[in-house]
Homo-oligomer: A and B are copies of this chain.
Amino acid sequence: VTLKPELASIRTDLGVLVGAEYVLAGAECRAYETDWTASRGLRGKPDAVTFPGSSEEVRQLVEWSSDRGVPLVPRGGGTGLAGGAVPVGGGVVVCLERLDQIIEFSPDQWRLTVGAGVTTHTVKRLARENGLLFPPDPGAAEQSQIGGNTATNAGGPHAFKYGGTGAWVTGLEAVVVPGEIIRVGGAQRKDVGGYDIKSLLVGSEGTLALITEVTLRLLPAPEAVVPLVMFFADTKAATESIRDIIASGIEPAALDYLDARTLELLKRSYPGDVPPDAMFALVSELDGSSDQVADSTSELRELVSPSAVAIDSPSATDLWRWRDGVGNVVAAVRGGKVSEDIVVPPDRLAEAVDEVVKIGRTADLEACSWGHAGDGNMHASFLVDPDDEAMMARAEQASQQLFDLAIALGGSITGEHGVGYLKAGQLERQWDPAALDLHERIKKDFDPAGVLNPGKKVARMSAGPKSGQVTRPSAAS
C-alpha cells in the first residue's frame, strides 16, 4: 500500500500517540466511513481511525490535532441518525470504545461515573442489577455509548417523564482544544458556580469538546411497570385521548404513538392482536409503586375506553423490543427511509401527523410517522428506495418541508437525533439571527481552528462544509 505522504505521516503520528495497533488506515477504515445514516447515502473518507485508551491519550490527540490542523471526528457506537460521526471532510475518526471503565459506582448514592465508551446497555444493566434505574432509553442502547448519548442528548420513549440523557448527567470530563482536560460538575448534585458548560457540552455533538467521562445520577427502580397499548380508529380520537390523559393528571413514563401506516406495517410483529379497525396506536407505560400503578392503570383504561377500539397490556420486554424495531421495519418496506425527528408542541401533534402524510403525497412519496407523542417528538418518515436517485432527491426535498412544518407549529427541527451533518444549517429556520451568532461564537470559543467534528451542528446554511469527500444525498460510494 502506498499512502499519500500526508496520510502516512498522520498514521505514524497516531501510532506514536496511541500505539500502532490502535490505528486503522486505508481499507480498514471502511466500517467507519458512515453511521446509521448510511442508507441516506452519507459517507466520508477518514484519513485514519484511532482508538485511544485513556483520557490522557484523547488529550494528546486533541493537542496533535490542534497543532497539525487535522480534524477529529469523535465516534461512540456509530448509531447516530444525523451523521454526527461521519467524517464528511476526512480527518481522524476517534473511537472512544476503549474508555470503557466503570470509574466509580455508588449504588447507595444513586451515582455512577463511567468512561465515555461504556455502552448505554451496560449503564442500564448496572443500575438495574442494583435496584436502580437509568431512565434514558434511546433506540440503540445495546450499541450506543454513554459518551455519544451525552454528546447528542439522546432521548427515547421514557424521556416523556424522565427527560433526555442530559437530565441525568451531573458531571463531565472532556478534552478541549488545544489539548486540556476539563471537569465540570461531578458527584455533587447541584452546582451553579460557573456558566453551565456541562449543559453546553451535552448535545454539542463533538463540536466543542471530546467527552471522556460521565457522572450520572440514577433513581431507585420503580416497583411496578405496566405497559398499556391503546388502539384507535382515527388520529383525532387518539390525539384527543392524549390530551385527556395529560389533563387527567396521570403521568405516564412513556407516551409514544404510531400513525395509521406505521401501525399497518408493524401489525404483524406486534406481541398480541391488533384490531382490524385500528388506525392509530398509543404505546404508554405507567411506573411507580404497585398500588399507584394499579390505580393509574384503571384510571387510564376508564378514561380511554370510550374512544379506543381496544386496550392491550403486553409484557414490557416484548412491547419495547417491538417498539424499538419500528425504524427498521419501516425502512425495510422499500429498502430505506428518510426520517426527521422534528418536534412540535404536543397539542399540535394531530395537525403534524396529517401534514406529514400530505407532504409525502405531494412529493409522490409514501409517508408515515411515529414517535414520542407526549413530547410532540415525531419520527416523520418517507419510505424510499435508496437506489432510486430521483426518489431520494424528492425525499430530501420533502424533508425541508418537514422542518418548515415544525417551525410553523412552534417546534424544533430536532428533538433527540441532533443536527449532525444532515440538518446542518437548519437552525437558521428556527432561531433569531442574534441567537445564531451566539451559537457560532460559542463554537469559535471552544474550537477556533475548527478541528472538532467540522461540518456538524452548523447553524447557518452558508457556513456548511465545502467538502468534496461527502456523497450526499443518495449516491453512496
**Which one of B167, B192, B246, B423 lies within 8 Å of A418 (CB-CB)?**
B192
Q: Once the chains bind, are A247 and B435 in contact (CB under 8 Å)?
A: no
Q: Once the chains bind, are B193 and A419 in contact (CB under 8 Å)?
A: yes
Considering the complex, which residues of chain A in the window 163-201 have a beta carbon less than 8 Å from any beta carbon of chain B? Answer: 163-164, 166-167, 176, 180-184, 186-197, 199-200
Counting CB contacts under 8 A, is A143 at the interface? Answer: no
Cα distance A184–B430 in the bound complex, in angstroms: 9
B-contacting 9-mer, from A267-275, A276-284, A339-347: A339-347
Q: Once the chains bind, are B203 and A413 in contact (CB under 8 Å)?
A: no
Q: Once the chains bind, are B176 and A434 in contact (CB under 8 Å)?
A: yes
Counting CB contacts under 8 A, is A109 at the interface? Answer: yes
Q: Once the chains bind, are A375 and B189 in contact (CB under 8 Å)?
A: yes
Counting CB contacts under 8 A, is A445 at the interface? Answer: yes
Task: Knowing A431-B182, A442-B445, say if A131 contacts B249 (CB, 8 Å).
Answer: yes
Counting CB contacts under 8 A, is A106 at the interface? Answer: yes
* A423 nearest CB across to chain B (Å): 8
Counting CB contacts under 8 A, is A292 at the interface? Answer: yes
Q: Once the chains bind, are A202 and B197 in contact (CB under 8 Å)?
A: no
Q: Once the chains bind, are A438 and B153 in contact (CB under 8 Å)?
A: no
Quick one: CB contact mask for A222-262 with B, threshold 8 Å, 1 for yes? 00000000000000000000010011011100000000000
State how many residues of chain A have any CB contact under 8 Å with chain B: 94
Cα distance A435–B289 in the bound complex, in angstroms: 42
Q: Once the chains bind, are B246 and A108 in contact (CB under 8 Å)?
A: yes
Q: Once the chains bind, are A435 and B184 in contact (CB under 8 Å)?
A: yes
Q: Once the chains bind, are B446 and A438 in contact (CB under 8 Å)?
A: yes
**Which one of B152, B414, B438 lies within 8 Å of A193 (CB-CB)?**
B414
Counting CB contacts under 8 A, is A351 at the interface? Answer: no
Quick one: CB contact mask for A429-447 with B, threshold 8 Å, 1 for yes? 0111111101101110110
Task: Knowing A192-B152, A204-B195, A410-B187, say if A181 contacts B432 (CB, 8 Å).
Answer: yes
Counting CB contacts under 8 A, is A354 at the interface? Answer: no
Residues of B within 8 A of A289 (CB): 288-289, 291-292, 295-296
Considering the complex, give the chain B residue whose CB is closest to the CB of A203: B192
Q: Once the chains bind, are B193 and A413 in contact (CB under 8 Å)?
A: yes
Q: Once the chains bind, are A190 and B292 in contact (CB under 8 Å)?
A: no
Considering the complex, give the chain B residue whose CB is closest to the CB of A196: B199
Residues of B within 8 A of A423 (CB): 193
Counting CB contacts under 8 A, is A416 at the interface? Answer: yes
**Which one of B159, B187, B345, B372 lies within 8 Å of A109 (CB-CB)?**
B345
Considering the complex, give the chain B residue whose CB is closest to the CB of A164: B190
Q: Once the chains bind, are A432 and B183 in contact (CB under 8 Å)?
A: yes
Q: Once the chains bind, are B194 and A431 in contact (CB under 8 Å)?
A: yes
Residues of B within 8 A of A152 (CB): 192
* A471 nearest CB across to chain B (Å): 25
Residues of B within 8 A of A446 (CB): 438
Q: Once the chains bind, are B445 and A192 in contact (CB under 8 Å)?
A: no
Quick one: CB contact mask for A362-405 with B, threshold 8 Å, 1 for yes? 00000000001011110000000000000000000000000000
Task: Knowing A108-B243, A199-B196, A446-B438, say if A188 contacts B431 (CB, 8 Å).
Answer: no
**Which one of B413, B433, B438 lies within 8 Å of A197 (CB-CB)?**
B438
Counting CB contacts under 8 A, is A22 at the interface? Answer: no
Q: Once the chains bind, are A180 and B432 in contact (CB under 8 Å)?
A: yes
Q: Which residue, of A109, A291, A417, A438, has the highest number of chain B Cβ atoms within 10 A?
A: A438
Counting CB contacts under 8 A, is A7 at the interface? Answer: no
Q: Once the chains bind, are B435 and A183 in contact (CB under 8 Å)?
A: yes
* A178 nearest CB across to chain B (Å): 9
Counting CB contacts under 8 A, is A411 at the interface? Answer: yes
Cα distance A186–B431 in the bound complex, in angstroms: 11
Considering the complex, give the chain B residue whose CB is closest to the CB of A429: B193
Cα distance A423–B163 in the bound complex, in angstroms: 31
Q: Once the chains bind, are B110 and A246 in contact (CB under 8 Å)?
A: yes
Task: Knowing A189-B376, A191-B343, say if A203 contacts B196 (CB, 8 Å).
Answer: yes
Counting CB contacts under 8 A, is A43 at the interface? Answer: no
Residues of B within 8 A of A319 (CB): none
9 more A-B contacts (CB under 8 A) besides A180-B432, A196-B204, A219-B251?
A: A108-B246, A108-B347, A109-B243, A164-B192, A186-B411, A193-B423, A194-B439, A289-B291, A442-B445
A-B contact pairs, 16 of them (CB 8 A): A108-B247, A110-B246, A180-B434, A181-B434, A182-B431, A188-B410, A189-B375, A189-B377, A193-B412, A195-B443, A196-B203, A196-B204, A197-B438, A199-B199, A291-B291, A291-B295
